[in-house]
Amino acid sequence: MKKENSFSKKIIEQIGINVIVKGFSIILSFFFIPLSISYLGSENYGIWLTLFSFLSFFTFFDFGIGHGLRNNLTTALSKNKIILAKEYVSTTYITLLVISICLSSIFILFFNLIDWQSIFKFNSVESQNFILIIKIIYICFFFNLTFKCIDIISYSNHKSSFPGILIFINSLCSFTIIYILNNLESNSIVYYGYTIAFTQIMTYVIANIFLFRFKFNTIKPNFKSFKKKHLKKIFGLGMNFFLIQICAVILFSSDNLIITQIFSPDQVTVYNIPYKFFGIFKVGTSLILIPLWSAFTTAITKNDIIWIKNTINKSLIFVTLISVIVLISMFFANEIFALWIGNNITIPNELNIIMGIYIICTMYLQVFSMFLNGSSKIKIQLYSGTLSAIINIPLSIYFAKRLNFGLSGVIMATLATNILSLILFVIQYTKIINNKATGIWNK
């Protein structure tokens, strides 16, 4: 009982730090968004959001290795197998470094063959600036695939506050530089892109050096501990996570690209204001739920079913309380936006309502996906995610264009696919926790 209470206390402590750090991050983002719009202008900011969303298509090009590491490393640490844990970490880092080099080389090789102007609809006069930014951002991003693995190490060690702290430091550095540039009237998307790209990669490089020196020294990666035999285990689970992530990217990151193509870049800004506002509530639940992924892995390793049930029930109560706040916020959203960004951009009321409902559904979805991820039983997620990814883009275009729902139709399509996934996840959780899962429900 003492060990169980100690474990729960450790998780709660990390959640508490997460809430504080994320609170500062949210406050910072409220200032950063209007600063970015002021610095870039509405159209360029819309193009930037689309570019960044497009980048999300490559976010998971670690082929799921990070998540494959997470569950295996958590299990090894739970059993106090430090040598095995070090081998997992070393194998993952070296593999990711090779992948980063290969992806960067391929990107540079084919870069000039892509018509970037047609994709992002930027002004032909500024095309060289945009193309330069795309190249810099993507190369920095590919190498950051390796360095961001420190987030996975932190989660597996139940230090879930560390990734949040790194995000805040990165955002604070970016905000400070953009604020200075804005006051100097050095308004350029090139400077903006450099700032975002370089502050992120430098934050994670320094974090890797510091954390492996002072916090995770016993599992610090080296070439000697690389073990080819672990690749199958990490890749096996990781590949399923990778496929799920690809589906998630298509599902959640295609919206900006769709809006740019069927409407215009400035409508991306209109869409993203309520998305980012209501997304704050999703971020709030993530602070509570993300640490539970590895906690569920540890609890399953120790067969602590009672702790799992209690944690799921408490999580659902928390999400329900947050959902009530979201419902209330829907009806005051435009007043909040006016205070936040002024009256220059008009947000349709129906977009606020659909966006709020979508966020509520996503929060409940997170509760059950954290458990399923921690249990490594993710086949249902894979199949439902694949179906959602296939139908989301045509459904978004159908709702937005054919049925004339406009921007609301885009998020409405994503909401429909999320509801289907939520139903399946609840059924699978119930079967697993009651030891009645068979066939695909137990994979």
The 10s digit of each residue's pLDDT in 214-231 is 999 999 999 999 999 998
Structure token pair of residue 88: 């997992």
Name residues whose C-beta falls within 8 Å of residue 313's C-beta, 6 or more positions apart in sequence.
none
CB 336 within 8 A of CB 277: yes
Distance from C-alpha of 139 to C-alpha of 116, rounded to nearest angstrom: 16
Q: Which two tokens stand for residue 203?
A: 């934050």
Q: Which pLDDT belongs to residue 2?
A: 52
Q: Which pLDDT value is given to residue 226?
A: 93
Q: What is the pLDDT of residues 203-262, one digit of tens each?
A: 999 999 999 999 999 999 999 999 999 988 888 777 888 888 788 777 767 787 788 888
Residue 425 has a pLDDT of: 96
Average predicted confidence (pLDDT) for the chain: 86
- Ramachandran area for residue 41 (φ above 0: left; ψ -120 to 50: alpha; else beta): left
State the DSSP H helix or E strand holding residue 225, giving kind and residue range, or none if neither.
Answer: none
Among 106, 411, 424, CA closest to 253: 411
Burial 244-257 (b: 16+ CB within 10 A, else e): bbbbbbbbbbbbbb
Q: 380: domain range?
A: 2-442
Residue 352 has pLDDT above 60, yes or no: yes
Structural domains counted in the chain: 1
Helix axes 42-56, 189-214, angle to 10 degrees: 40
Secondary structure class of 331 (helix, strand, coil): coil
How far apart, in whole angstroms, are the C-alpha atoms of residue 346 and residue 344? 7
- Report the alpha-carbon distance of residue 279 to residue 259 in Å, rounded: 18
For the chain, the distance separating the N- and C-terminal CA atoms, rounded to the nearest angstrom, is 31
Question: What pLDDT score was predicted for residue 432?
Answer: 94
Distance CA 380, CA 428 (A): 8
Give the pLDDT of residue 58: 65
Model pLDDT for residues 116-162, shown as the tens digit of each residue: 777 766 665 566 777 777 888 888 888 888 899 999 999 999 898 89
pLDDT recorded at residue 133: 79
Q: Which residues make Cβ contacts (< 8 Å) with residue 235, sequence separation at least 6?
A: 63, 64, 65, 68
